[in-house]
Every structure is written in C-alpha cells, then in structure tokens.
C-alpha cells in the first residue's frame, strides 16, 4: 500500500433536527461571542433566526454577517473578517451553501490577524491558528463542511483557493431538515456536483489517491445515485434528503484527500466569467470530460458505474465505462438541468478564452487521469456548447 494522508473534520454530527444542538455545541466549542456567516437567502428562510435563537438560549452572543454571495469575492470575505474582529469573536459558524461555508473558514483563519488572505492562497500556506469553527451545510453538494478548501473570486473573474487542513472545522453539523426547502434546480445542480466530487476523487492521479477516499466515493455514489431524482422531484422526502446530505459529505471527504481534476478546472472559468452556479457548471461539462478521459480511465469508471447505476452491472469494461458517461448525461437531463453551454447564454466566441483560463488551474489539472492541453480543453468546450 502506498503511503497516504487522510484528514477530515474533527467531529461530524448528523441527524434530522440536529440544528437544535448548535447552542450547546457553540457554548462548548466556540465560546461566548460568535459570528454567524451566511447569505441573504438563508436569512429569508428563517433558519438563521432559529440558529440564533438556539445560540442565545445557550448564553452565546451571536451576530450575523449575511452579505455572502455566490462565488464570493475577496472583498466580501474581508468585510466578514472585519466584522469578526469588531465583535471580538471567539468562534465562527458558517451556515448555508458552499460559498457561506468557504467564507466562514477564511473568517476563522484570518480574524486572529496573524495571516493575510494574500499569504494563504495555494496549498499548505495557511498555518493558523484559527478561531474555533462549526459548519452547517444547507445544500447537498459542495461537501465544504469536511474539506480543507476555500474558493474565492479574485479580481474580475479568477477563482483561487486556500487549501490547508487548518481550515477543517471543529464540527460539521448535518441536518437534512435544513435542505427540505431547496428548489429543484438547486437540488439537481448541487447533487450532480457531489457526484462529480466522488467520480473525480476515485479516478484522481493525485499521489494521495487512497483506499479510504475510494471507499467513500463508492458509498457516496450509491447514496447520491439512488436518491437524487426523488430529492429533485419529491423535495419533501426526508429519506432522500438525508441520503443526499450524507452522500455529499462522503464525496467531500473523498475529494478533500484525493483531489478533483479537469471537470472542476473547466467549470471554474464558467463561474468566473458568466456566474453560472458551480454545480451547474460541473454538470454541463461532466459527461464530456469523462468521455475524453475514458481513453485512460475506463477501468475506474467501469468500477464506479454500478454504484450510481446498478443496471450497468450487466455490462463490462469499456462498454460499461461508456454507458456510465451516457447515464450521467441522461441523469442531468432527467433532473431538469440545462444540457448545453448555449442554453446558459455562453457565446461560442468565448470558448477559446475559457480554454485558456482553464489552463491556469494548475492545482487541479495534474490530477486528471488523462493530460489536458489547451486544444483538448477547447474541444471539450465545443462539444459541451
């Protein structure tokens, strides 16, 4: 067995109604003054008020920073850091989708004032210490509650990451009831995103691709593949919502240690330039990248296929791998997601620019099972257009 490292959140607490425990958890883990990082949409659901109520009942002072937006720019993150400093925060809670959780990680890291955002971009540059941190996901997609990764938008449209085990939270608190109100299109896009995490982790060329990540990826695909259509079309089904949330977390644990690759590398420019939600960007590219990879990764894809789609077990080898790609594209269609880049108003003229930008994702592309050149990326975008 090759040596590997597997890091994950220190504590994972999962169950319907788990949000009610956040007051006691915060009092124990975070201290007396907590900044809750979230977004305006979450505030409108009433979930934030519930969380704050639980905190105050436990004697914890809670202030809300609710200005997070999708693909958060650095200015938003730095304003949240200032809010934490002004409060004298002893701990941070991230509540919401991946953007809120990613922002909360950086607030916890930067509020002590020992590092700047410029210092910590890249892999392993964040050293800490950070403020105590609890993350509460309300979507089933990013797995951010168990990943040592935070992605922010720098400048006009470039995404950069902070990658360090220092920003793994002290507690990941998973309550599937918080996902019951997700619209169908968000459920679909975030669910496909989680499946991408599992697939890319399993086939990753990373030297740290490991048996724990691969086992988690298989279990994640079993849960996600078996529940996503129910969750999309029958959104009040708590069993499907629970399976999606657990599957997303397992996929997050997988790719947090066996990193993702070309699907994400090609998706990031779509989010940066056109503000297409990250999960949808991945869904638009997934089958096309996997078909490109099949030349070298057909064995891995054939192994994974029956976990997501049990009916594919009757096929073998390259035929099963090809059917896996087709089944993923059909799943996206059945979820009601747009199928082509032109459907989300990406003009054909920008495809060369997108290909050039994708090549800047030097953290991700080396993990792809097949090398990707700029001309390869352009052809994938053309097939997706």
The last residue of a domain, from among 147, 178, 209: 178
Q: Same domain, yes or no, for 355 and 244?
A: yes
The last residue of a domain, from among 126, 156, 178: 178
Q: Six-digit token pair at 103?
A: 């922002």
Q: Same domain, yes or no, for 191 and 145?
A: no
Q: Is 78 helix (H, G, I), strand (E, B) or coil?
A: helix
Q: Same domain, yes or no, for 269 and 143?
A: no
Q: Same domain, yes or no, for 200 and 144?
A: no
Answer yes or no: is 63 within a domain: yes
Answer yes or no: is 5 within a domain: no
Q: Same domain, yes or no, for 235 and 370?
A: yes
pLDDT at 155: 79
Answer yes or no: is 85 within a domain: yes
pTM over 0.75? The answer is: yes
Tell me which DSSP letter residue 134 carries. Answer: E
Tell me which DSSP letter residue 346 carries. Answer: -
Q: How many domains does the chain have?
A: 2
Beta bridge partners of 150: 162
Q: Same domain, yes or no, for 156 and 197?
A: no
Q: Same domain, yes or no, for 201 and 290?
A: yes
Q: Same domain, yes or no, for 189 and 265?
A: yes
Q: Six-digit token pair at 29?
A: 């883990």
CATH of the domain at 284: 1.20.1090.10
Residue linked to tokens 């629970």: 242
Residue linked to tokens 């997501």: 308
Q: How far apart are CA 208 and CA 310, in angstroms?
A: 28
Rg of the Cα atoms in the chain: 20
Answer yes or no: is 6 within a domain: no
Q: Same domain, yes or no, for 207 and 338?
A: yes
Answer yes or no: is 273 within a domain: yes
Answer yes or no: is 4 within a domain: no
Q: Which of 249, 261, 146 is nearest to 201 (CA)?
A: 261
Q: How far apart are CA 226 and CA 177, in angstroms?
A: 19
pLDDT tens for the chain, residues 1 to 385: 889 999 999 999 999 999 999 999 999 999 999 999 999 999 999 999 999 999 999 999 999 999 999 889 999 999 999 999 999 999 999 999 999 999 999 999 999 999 999 999 999 999 999 999 999 999 999 999 999 999 998 877 778 889 999 999 999 999 999 999 899 999 999 999 999 999 999 999 999 999 999 999 999 999 999 999 999 999 999 999 999 999 999 999 999 999 999 999 999 999 989 989 999 999 999 999 999 999 999 999 999 999 999 999 999 999 999 999 999 999 999 999 999 999 999 999 999 999 999 999 999 999 999 999 999 999 999 999 9
Q: Same domain, yes or no, for 307 and 173?
A: no
Answer yes or no: is 163 within a domain: yes
pLDDT at 157: 75
- Render 125-153 in DSSP notation, one character per residue: --------EEEEE-SSS--GGG-SEEEEE
CATH of the domain at 44: 3.40.50.1970
Q: Same domain, yes or no, for 169 and 186?
A: no
pLDDT at 183: 94
For residue 260, what are the domain limits?
182-384
Q: Same domain, yes or no, for 192 and 139?
A: no
The last residue of a domain, from among 157, 178, 199: 178
pLDDT at 289: 98
Answer yes or no: is 2 within a domain: no
């Amino acid at each position: 067995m090759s040596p590997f490292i597997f890091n994950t959140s220190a504590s994972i607490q999962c169950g319907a109604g788990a949000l009610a425990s956040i007051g006691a958890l915060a009092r124990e883990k975070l201290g007396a003054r907590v900044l809750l990082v979230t977004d305006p949409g979450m505030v409108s659901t009433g979930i934030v008020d519930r969380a704050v109520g639980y905190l105050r009942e436990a004697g914890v002072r809670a202030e809300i920073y609710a200005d997070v937006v999708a693909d958060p720019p650095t200015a938003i993150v730095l304003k949240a850091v200032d809010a934490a400093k002004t409060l004298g925060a002893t701990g941070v809670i991230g509540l919401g989708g991946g953007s809120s959780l990613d922002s909360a990680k950086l607030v916890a890291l930067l509020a002590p004032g020992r590092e700047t955002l410029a210092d910590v971009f890249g892999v392993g540059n964040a050293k800490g210490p950070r403020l105590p941190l609890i993350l509460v996901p309300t979507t089933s997609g990013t797995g951010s509650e168990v990943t040592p990764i935070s992605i922010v938008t720098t400048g006009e449209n470039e995404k950069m990451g902070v990658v360090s085990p220092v920003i793994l939270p002290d507690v990941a608190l998973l309550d599937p009831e918080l996902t019951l109100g997700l619209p169908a299109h968000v459920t679909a896009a975030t669910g496909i995103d989680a499946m991408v995490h599992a697939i890319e982790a399993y086939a990753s060329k990373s030297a740290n691709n490991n048996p724990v990540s691969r086992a988690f990826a298989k279990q994640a695909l079993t849960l996600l593949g078996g529940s996503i259509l129910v969750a999309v079309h029958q959104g009040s089904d708590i069993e499907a919502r629970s399976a999606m949330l657990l599957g997303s977390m397992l996929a997050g644990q997988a790719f947090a240690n066996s990193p993702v690759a070309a699907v994400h590398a090609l998706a990031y420019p779509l989010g940066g330039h056109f503000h297409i939600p990250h999960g949808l960007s991945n869904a638009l590219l997934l089958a096309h990248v996997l078909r490109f990879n099949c030349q070298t990764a057909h064995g891995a894809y054939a192994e994974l296929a029956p976990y997501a789609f049990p009916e594919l077990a009757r096929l073998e080898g390259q035929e099963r791998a090809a059917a896996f790609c087709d089944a993923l594209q059909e799943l996206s269609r059945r979820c009601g997601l747009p199928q082509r880049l032109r459907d989300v108003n990406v003009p054909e003229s920008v495809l060369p620019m997108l290909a050039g930008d994708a090549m800047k994702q030097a953290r991700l592309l080396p993990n792809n099972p097949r090398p990707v050149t700029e001309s390869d990326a352009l052809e994938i975008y053309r097939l997706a257009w």
